[in-house]
A and B are shown apart, each in its own frame.
Chain A
């Protein structure tokens, strides 16, 4: 790890100010950033730690939405009765992230801001039509994810909370990379007032994406049989040691059917 400055501001405004330094980075749970720094693959000048800021974590039900503070840890989402009642698929997803140590450090805001193509939360945010709330504005999930490790966040912009509209039904099925246990293919399906949405993580070479053909097939008939014949185009999917694009395309179908079955 290279030397760096450390800042622990007490307010979001102070954090945003600290981020004005060149090569400053936000430290949320640190589960990606710190290992990357230890390997000397990242060398930020300043780490702006959000942990001292009040009000960035917590879970609440606000009308037809579930609101989760950006610094809320995966373990807290997984264990929350409020989440389990409101969106059981989301609580189940949080329980599948990493290992217990990661789940007790890693945060929902950190995961969304990092937008790792194999992360789990992007699939939930996209399928549930979440709104990402920052210190500057509100961003619809559909506008937020911009490709591998890329988001709509601007310099100095900090996620403060995430609002999930409550779905009628939802579920997440994850095929884990055998080594890392990140999502090799993760499919989140949600039946909402706005329609059926199917979001796929782990597979796309541009990160999380919606599966239009499956959404169309499920719109009229929310059952595994409805998507049994829906093919997934392998072009645009990732290939690596653990599975080529054809295998991932096949797994998208399997995981989607299992998610629909679990949700139905």
Chain B
């Protein structure tokens, strides 16, 4: 391992730029003559729009234009799409209501887009928006997914507010397992609704060049090529060759910046319409109201055990809240990203899951860090912990008894796990967490009047979200490969063009480490180019922990081609047969001789092209590749959380948190640990603090940081983070992915710890102080009390 190659904890190249304030985000971009957009949003959760009078707004100072849904319709611009088709049990396609860019005749959640005002300044746009008179016919709201069926109808296309009734697995076999079970554990749970809260809010600048009839859209996107594809092919904004999308530095996304939203669509469209650049930057309130939210499941789940403690069946029914419209990938989250992981790390012969997706008068719900997989691990790991407790078994040993140990393993819910070492992670986690010392620590807490408990989470996830043909067969509208181009310059420096997008993932460092390892050059001689459809031809972007496993594999494949070509050039320069050339540590040598040439010199020779016949060997050194994986990847691990509860206040303190994960081969352990830390923080946030709440009228009660609780540094202990390694067989680098693991693993670990401390299972997420205080009233008393 070199100092900057694979496996080295290289400090992040991009951080100097970021911490000295030199990052360049969308809001930093200003174009000559730029106007500012302000969106008039619905104050009602559900209402007809009977009339819009914008005359006073149009006459306001500085106003260039006011547009409504009618203007969009007049221009024949299409609606926003959902790119994953799900079929119901009866074979019928999902029932998706129209998703207009600006509301047409009806609003369906607080924050829905009624009109846009474009003016010289944002203040002028806002002032003018206050003068727009909208006559609303207010309709009843429904925010709770469990009340959606039978509630006020939100879309004509979806009777009973039902998008689909989907299922997966073998119902008869599962029912049979339950019929013969020695013990059944049952659980009703809510997976709480979350608001993504990336540090940088969404933003867009549309810029139209009337000379070339070309639109450039700067946008906070995790996948600019997909944004261009959707806006071009489906919404009909402009053909792809007349439309450039740039996602520069992006300050976090957690999924919420995958999707194609109304605001960037309007900025790009309006820029052409008024022939002026149009800019919009979300304020934090708009982010709370209109970024796609995450989770929001209501679930009943059961697990069946035989007398020996072997899990024999799992049965799940989930109602998934889609919000008011189907966001870009919303339909896939509670189906193929959720129910396919319900086998967890366990050998479960029969599984049956039913999912009802419903519309409500709330912001759209879509993928959020983990996307379906945290919901699955919460169901599985809460059930497994409870089953162990109910049958008097140690939760660690009960898990071990049911672990899958033979690979590959075909689960009853589509996934074929390729490799893993679940017991290895468990053993290491038990040691790090000092599980043996738990009883003594519980006694010490009890002596102080405090309640202590520990909880496990043995999670598994499916990442990469590919092969393309496989996801296509499940309803995906796109392939989920990745592309790469390696451009070697004549002096031997390298530019990597990637379809992955870095918005916190450290690609500028980790991707350069791969090049450094392979070509034997310094990471300082490598630059990573991404996020611009004019520079990178095509790509699928970053989400689903796929940039390492899929994006880097594409780079690896292109580097294979670079190496093969460079060997040919080296053979000519060294006057040896290509088959006699060896490449190692950045040097080409002729086998068995001391004749050698370094990589940079070969690069120069490739472009000078004096030493070979240009008709037989093309000059230059530039290669590209597309990589389509052979399987999903399956990161897995065991997390153990230990909490102490103050029963007087209900405050839960996370005392210890241990994570032992198997991410396959690590590129940069420091970056991996950082990803795990961030994910755990978000998961602890979900378990203890975060929760979007709508009231009966559909108003978002938690629309600011005054009421929406985010995890903070002082809410968290120092984590113990370690890894084990089984190399992933489905990509050349052995990578599984690590971006979402922490957020997937931690919520059940925290809740299992709290319920252990309380001595009963009756606590929901978020386990806020008031909720825990109430739950603590119902607990068995301490001896000291």
Is B truly associated with A?
yes
What is the CA–CA distance of A180 and B705 in the complex, to the nearest angstrom?
Answer: 6
Q: Is the beta-carbon distance between B709 and A179 smaller than 8 angstroms?
A: yes
What is the CA–CA distance of A88 and B126 in the complex, to the nearest angstrom?
Answer: 47
Q: Which B residues are in CB contact (< 8 Å) with A179?
A: 689, 702, 705-710
Q: Which A residues are in CB contact (< 8 Å) with B156?
A: none
Q: Measured between C-beta atoms, what is the minimum distance from A42 to chain B in Å?
A: 15
Binary contact readout B680-711 vs A (1 if CB under 8 angstroms, 0 otherwise): 00000000010001000000011001111110
Q: Is the beta-carbon distance between B770 and A180 smaller than 8 angstroms?
A: no
Binary contact readout B454-497 vs A (1 if CB under 8 angstroms, 0 otherwise): 00000000000000000000000000000000000000000000
Residue A175 interfacial (CB < 8 Å): yes
What is the CA–CA distance of A250 and B770 in the complex, to the nearest angstrom?
Answer: 11
Q: Is the beta-carbon distance between B773 and A180 smaller than 8 angstroms?
A: no
Binary contact readout A220-249 vs B (1 if CB under 8 angstroms, 0 otherwise): 000000000000000000000111100100
Q: Measured between C-beta atoms, what is the minimum distance from A155 to chain B in Å?
A: 28
Which of A178, A242, A251 has the most chain B CB within a 10 Å cutoff? A178
Q: Which A residues are in CB contact (< 8 Å) with B701?
A: 241
Residue A17 interfacial (CB < 8 Å): no
Binary contact readout B644-658 vs A (1 if CB under 8 angstroms, 0 otherwise): 000011100000000
What is the CA–CA distance of A178 and B648 in the complex, to the nearest angstrom?
Answer: 16
Q: List 17 A-B contacts (CB under 8 A).
A: A2-B127, A175-B649, A175-B769, A178-B709, A180-B707, A242-B707, A242-B768, A242-B769, A242-B770, A243-B770, A247-B650, A247-B770, A247-B773, A247-B774, A251-B649, A254-B648, A254-B649
Q: Which A residues are in CB contact (< 8 Å) with B706?
A: 179-180, 182
Residue A13 interfacial (CB < 8 Å): no
Q: Is the beta-carbon distance between A243 and B769 smaller than 8 angstroms?
A: yes
What is the CA–CA distance of A250 and B651 in the complex, to the nearest angstrom?
Answer: 14
Q: Which A residues are in CB contact (< 8 Å) with B525?
A: none
Residue B123 interfacial (CB < 8 Å): yes
Q: Is the beta-carbon distance between A244 and B770 smaller than 8 angstroms?
A: yes
In residues 118-135 of chain B, which contact A (Cβ within 8 Å)? 123, 126-127
Q: Measured between C-beta atoms, what is the minimum distance from B623 to chain A in Å?
A: 51
Question: In terms of DSSP, what is the predominant structure of the interface of chain B?
Answer: loop
What is the CA–CA distance of A182 and B702 in the complex, to the nearest angstrom?
Answer: 16
What is the CA–CA distance of A39 and B513 in the complex, to the nearest angstrom?
Answer: 46
Q: Is the beta-carbon distance between B702 and A241 smaller than 8 angstroms?
A: yes
7 A-B pairs closest in CB distance: A179-B709, A243-B770, A180-B706, A178-B709, A247-B770, A254-B648, A179-B707
Closest to B705 in A: A179
Q: Is the beta-carbon distance between A241 and B707 smaller than 8 angstroms?
A: yes
What is the CA–CA distance of A39 and B703 in the complex, to the nearest angstrom?
Answer: 13
What is the CA–CA distance of A251 and B651 in the complex, to the nearest angstrom?
Answer: 12
Residue A152 interfacial (CB < 8 Å): no
Residue A219 interfacial (CB < 8 Å): no
Q: Which B residues are in CB contact (< 8 Å) with A250?
A: 773
Q: Which A residues are in CB contact (< 8 Å) with B285?
A: 39
Binary contact readout B141-159 vs A (1 if CB under 8 angstroms, 0 otherwise): 0000000000000000000
Closest to B710 in A: A179
What is the CA–CA distance of A244 and B773 in the complex, to the nearest angstrom?
Answer: 12
Q: Which A residues are in CB contact (< 8 Å) with B768?
A: 178, 242
Q: Measured between C-beta atoms, what is the minimum distance from A114 to chain B in Å?
A: 15
Give the size range of B's interface with the partner.
Answer: 20 to 34
Q: Which B residues are in CB contact (< 8 Å) with A244?
A: 770
Q: Which A residues are in CB contact (< 8 Å) with B705?
A: 179-180
Closest to B709 in A: A179
Q: Which A residues are in CB contact (< 8 Å) with B709?
A: 178-179
Residue of B127, B649, B693, B774 near A241 (CB, 8 A) is B693
Closest to A39 in B: B285
Q: Measured between C-beta atoms, what is the minimum distance from A92 to chain B in Å?
A: 17
Contact A178:B702 (CB < 8 A) given known A1-B123, A251-B649, A254-B649: no
What is the CA–CA distance of A130 and B785 in the complex, to the nearest angstrom?
Answer: 40
Closest to B123 in A: A1
Q: Which A residues are in CB contact (< 8 Å) with B770?
A: 242-244, 247
Q: Which A residues are in CB contact (< 8 Å) with B707?
A: 179-180, 241-242
Binary contact readout B741-785 vs A (1 if CB under 8 angstroms, 0 otherwise): 000000000000000000000000000111001100000000000
Q: Which B residues are in CB contact (< 8 Å) with A180?
A: 705-707
Q: Which A residues are in CB contact (< 8 Å) with B127?
A: 2
Q: Which B residues are in CB contact (< 8 Å) with A40?
A: 126
Q: Measured between C-beta atoms, what is the minimum distance from B124 to chain A in Å?
A: 11
Residue of A175, A178, A251 near B689 (CB, 8 A) is A178
Q: Measured between C-beta atoms, what is the minimum distance from A179 to chain B in Å?
A: 4
Sample of 6 more A-B contacts, CB < 8 Å, known A244-B770, A247-B774, A250-B773: A1-B123, A175-B649, A180-B706, A242-B707, A243-B770, A254-B648
Closest to A38 in B: B283
Binary contact readout B209-232 vs A (1 if CB under 8 angstroms, 0 otherwise): 000000000000000000000000
Q: Which A residues are in CB contact (< 8 Å) with B123?
A: 1
Q: Which B residues are in CB contact (< 8 Å) with A251?
A: 649
Q: Which B residues are in CB contact (< 8 Å) with A175?
A: 649, 769
Q: Which B residues are in CB contact (< 8 Å) with A243?
A: 769-770
Binary contact readout A162-200 vs B (1 if CB under 8 angstroms, 0 otherwise): 000000000000010011101000000000000000000
What is the CA–CA distance of A102 and B693 in the complex, to the nearest angstrom?
Answer: 27
What is the CA–CA distance of A179 and B693 in the complex, to the nearest angstrom?
Answer: 13
In residues 625-653 of chain B, which contact A (Cβ within 8 Å)? 648-650
Q: Is the beta-carbon distance between A178 and B769 smaller than 8 angstroms?
A: yes
Closest to B127 in A: A2
Q: Measured between C-beta atoms, what is the minimum distance from A140 to chain B in Å?
A: 32
Closest to A240 in B: B707
What is the CA–CA distance of A43 and B285 in the complex, to the nearest angstrom?
Answer: 19
What is the CA–CA distance of A244 and B126 in the complex, to the nearest angstrom?
Answer: 37
What is the CA–CA distance of A241 and B766 in the complex, to the nearest angstrom?
Answer: 12
Q: Measured between C-beta atoms, what is the minimum distance from A254 to chain B in Å?
A: 5
What is the CA–CA distance of A180 and B706 in the complex, to the nearest angstrom?
Answer: 4
What is the CA–CA distance of A125 and B423 in the complex, to the nearest angstrom?
Answer: 60
What is the CA–CA distance of A243 and B650 in the complex, to the nearest angstrom?
Answer: 11
What is the CA–CA distance of A141 and B657 in the complex, to the nearest angstrom?
Answer: 47
Q: Which A residues are in CB contact (< 8 Å) with B774?
A: 247
Closest to A255 in B: B649
Q: Measured between C-beta atoms, what is the minimum distance from A228 to chain B in Å?
A: 12
In residues 1-20 of chain A, which contact B (Cβ within 8 Å)? 1-2
What is the CA–CA distance of A178 and B770 in the complex, to the nearest angstrom?
Answer: 10
What is the CA–CA distance of A247 and B127 in the complex, to the nearest angstrom?
Answer: 42
What is the CA–CA distance of A179 and B770 in the complex, to the nearest angstrom?
Answer: 13
What is the CA–CA distance of A39 and B774 in the complex, to the nearest angstrom?
Answer: 36
Q: Measured between C-beta atoms, what is the minimum distance from B245 to chain A in Å?
A: 31
Q: Which B residues are in CB contact (< 8 Å) with A242?
A: 707, 768-770
Q: Which A residues are in CB contact (< 8 Å) with B773?
A: 247, 250
Q: Measured between C-beta atoms, what is the minimum distance from B125 to chain A in Å?
A: 13
Q: Measured between C-beta atoms, what is the minimum distance from A148 to chain B in Å?
A: 16
Q: Measured between C-beta atoms, what is the minimum distance from A251 to chain B in Å?
A: 7
What is the CA–CA distance of A178 and B771 in the complex, to the nearest angstrom?
Answer: 12
Q: Measured between C-beta atoms, what is the minimum distance from B346 to chain A in Å?
A: 35
What is the CA–CA distance of A45 and B101 in the complex, to the nearest angstrom?
Answer: 38
Q: Which A residues are in CB contact (< 8 Å) with B708?
A: 179
What is the CA–CA distance of A252 and B707 in the complex, to the nearest angstrom?
Answer: 21
Q: Measured between C-beta atoms, what is the minimum distance from A161 to chain B in Å?
A: 30
Q: Which A residues are in CB contact (< 8 Å) with B126?
A: 40
Q: Measured between C-beta atoms, what is the minimum distance from B685 to chain A in Å?
A: 11
What is the CA–CA distance of A13 and B535 in the complex, to the nearest angstrom?
Answer: 64
Q: Measured between C-beta atoms, what is the minimum distance from A225 to chain B in Å?
A: 15
Closest to B690 in A: A179
Which of B126, B127, B285, B648 has the most chain A CB within a 10 Å cutoff? B648
